[in-house]
Structure 1
């Protein structure tokens, strides 16, 4: 290859310094060069005659880089560490053990893969983690119950599968008509874990905007239209929508492929299934039609909404799961010994599915 061709190729390939100047904001450049300087200090301590530091100290610098740097800065940092490690290994006449070299190589590859994955997701450095925390908090905020009259209480519990940060189940709530009408929707997005959590983040914001902004009977059809418009490969969700008149206790329950609500009658202590099943899940058919079931919450009554993670178990019928849930509610809610969290614990389902439960109480006179 001629000299002119070589110079042309070298001009096309940016140097690490040029890459940093063009591709990183000032704070990232400062962090990158600061960590590079730290590797130089660490390398000097490693090769010092008194063995001030072990070779593994460079892994700590890499971990700092994975937390603070974007992909470009992380590539530069890892390249410097690789060069320094090879130089130290040669300079010390092979006194580095093969295990030390192997650990360094594995850590470089693993942390670069981690940085690349965060870059794909748009989560770069420490602010990316803070963004995830903010998204999780926003999802929880959509399910926050608004202020209610003194005779009404709502207790809710939400647990993600395998204690993940995000859940495919979510709750949205709103009040309308001068805060005399309470609306709550419990939604179970298909799938579980992080994949379902991403979809639940989007849907919770959209459904939260729809709730209370239109007549109650139009909520589930509008939610269905929105979900169909997303055109997801796995784009269905079950939902149950409750509307309660806080003046009279009258309620309306409509469901789209969701397990039925359960009403506790305080007068008799009886638990009754509010059979609102009829419409298919959201995101499957167009022109969704839901027939609401009506009822009334007398003073002391409670209404329970939940997702299928509380009633489904491998090898067991769903009706048995509903019976088990009603038994836990009878032991805890009917006797006022516990609320939503206690019921979740009492059902003792596995940790492999998302679970959500809402209890709407009308206090006794």
Structure 2
């Protein structure tokens, strides 16, 4: 191996390991300990909390416990030579005891956190980067494909509690024969607790919708969820199969709120409902298909129950309110309509998702 390749390999190994941060933090700990022994007035032993906190950010779960032990040894050395427990300084003894106890308590908390991270095998900073990447993957998979100029599609998501992870996601695919498959899914749970399942299912459902014809998607998704054997492994979904050339569509749902159809000709709205059980609860489930035709100016609203249902309001009343607001889109236009509808609807302590599909001409 050439010297250049060896250097490249060394850089790669150092970039994925915590050797350099560990060496730097060890040097910092030793330096603070020595300064604490020689310059106690300027460097109290409480300064060793700093490398503890830095270690929790930059060290992996294997290195961090041993580093915390090293810091505690440094604190013990300073205690043995510097801290006066005999009250010779005129300071109450309990103050010294409290200062020492706080330092060791911080170390215990950081070690407990490290043991929890050991299941994941990454440091705090690297783990945060990984979760950010997972969040971005969910968002990318939920991006709507480019549509012909005569069509408009918009989507809006709001996670419970303002987190970046939600149990609601969409799967969208445009085929070569100019058809659009659009699936809105609501996984059991909300916020971060449902984020891992939504990530897992979004990838799986994206593969299923790409491999099977529209009428086979929900049965295949149901079988897939049943195979996972999760304790809370159920989800609701609504699947739109739209012909972008003619405007004909097929709609199927699995325990999900119905779609709202906005009719440009009459200026009214109607509910597009179909029967189908929740995904992941029963085998050999049947999902009813409802067909229709989107004329010029028409629109469809696909949403999750978090948008229309609250503790004080029944879901049917929420759908009526959403549909009434949707009628305004027939006058003002559908551009930016999804954001407007979500912002106008009452906020709930649940994940919310809305997809608007509109035929311009």
Normalised by the shorter chain, which TM-score bucket?
A: 0.7 to 0.9
Aligned position for 1:41: 31
Secondary structure of the corresponding residue to residue 121 of structure 1: coil
2:196 maps to which of 186, 198, 205: 198
Structure 2, gaps ≥5 residues long? 1-13, 86-94
Q: What is the aligned length? A: 338
Deviation, 1:360, is: 0.7
2:292 matches 1:302: no
Describe how 1:1-365 pairs up with structure 2 within 5 A. Answer: 27-49=17-39, 51-94=41-84, 97-176=96-175, 178-276=176-274, 278-331=275-328, 334-336=331-333, 338-350=336-348, 352-363=349-360, 365=361
> What CA distance in whole angstroms lies between the structure 2 residues aligned with 1:27 and 1:281?
45
> What CA distance in whole angstroms lies between the structure 2 residues aligned with 1:271 and 1:88?
76
Deviation, 1:90, is: 2.6
Q: Tell me: CA distance 1:25–1:72, structure 2 relative to 1, closer, same or farther (3 Å).
A: farther
Deviation, 1:334, is: 4.7
Deviation, 1:125, is: 4.6
> What CA distance in whole angstroms lies between the structure 1 residues aligned with 2:66 and 2:121?
19
Q: Tell me: CA distance 1:142–1:162, structure 2 relative to 1, closer, same or farther (3 Å).
A: same
> What CA distance in whole angstroms lies between the structure 2 residues aligned with 1:248 and 1:151?
11
Aligned position for 1:3: none
> What CA distance in whole angstroms lies between the structure 2 residues aligned with 1:114 and 1:299?
57
Deviation, 1:165, is: 2.2
Structure 1, gaps ≥5 residues long? 1-23
Secondary structure of the corresponding residue to residue 49 of structure 2: helix
Deviation, 1:283, is: 0.4
Q: Tell me: CA distance 1:102–1:237, structure 2 relative to 1, closer, same or farther (3 Å).
A: same
TM-score (structure 2 length as normaliser): 0.87
Asked whether the 8 Å contact 1:266–1:334 carries over to 2, the reply is no
Task: Give the aligned CA root-mean-square deviation in angstroms.
Answer: 2.1
> What CA distance in whole angstroms lies between the structure 2 residues aligned with 1:56 and 1:150?
65
